[in-house]
Amino acid sequence: MNPTFEPRAPRESRESREPRRADVESDTISPFIPMLILGLVLAAWFGFQAVQLRAERSVMTDLLTNQEKQVQDSKKLRDSLDAIAKGTAQLAAGGNSNAKLILDELKKRGITISPNAGQTGATPAEPAK
């Protein structure tokens, strides 16, 4: 048997086993890129939301403007009905039996007429703006 001599690999020095400081720094991931992406995504999201909210506000403003005519028409109708109710109450106070019958039927249905105020009890209050 011939023992063959195999040379040993040179021992690694402590410096060669530990990564160099420059290698460690280049291997770490910088938080700049993920934070930049996060900031850009958040800015885009807030911009999108701002545009959407502005568009919705514009639509709501248009709807409010378009409803103004119906509100004015309903006020005119309510005022004319109040005038009719006030006139009916005055006729009933003057002794008209048909007007008294109408007022009695309205009272049965929960509608009261105040001849002094000119408003019916069933009319809702003006909505707050």
* 129 vs 11: which has the higher pLDDT: 11
Integer Cα distance of 119 and 123 in angstroms:
7
Amino acid at 105: E
The pLDDT value recorded for residue 121 is 47
Q: What is the pTM of this model?
A: 0.47
CA-nearest of 95, 94, 96, 88 to 114 is: 88
The pLDDT tens digits of the residues spanning 45-97 come to 999 999 999 999 999 999 999 999 999 999 999 999 999 999 999 999 999 99
User: What average pLDDT does range 29-36 have in this prediction?
Assistant: 93
Domain boundaries, the chain: 32-108
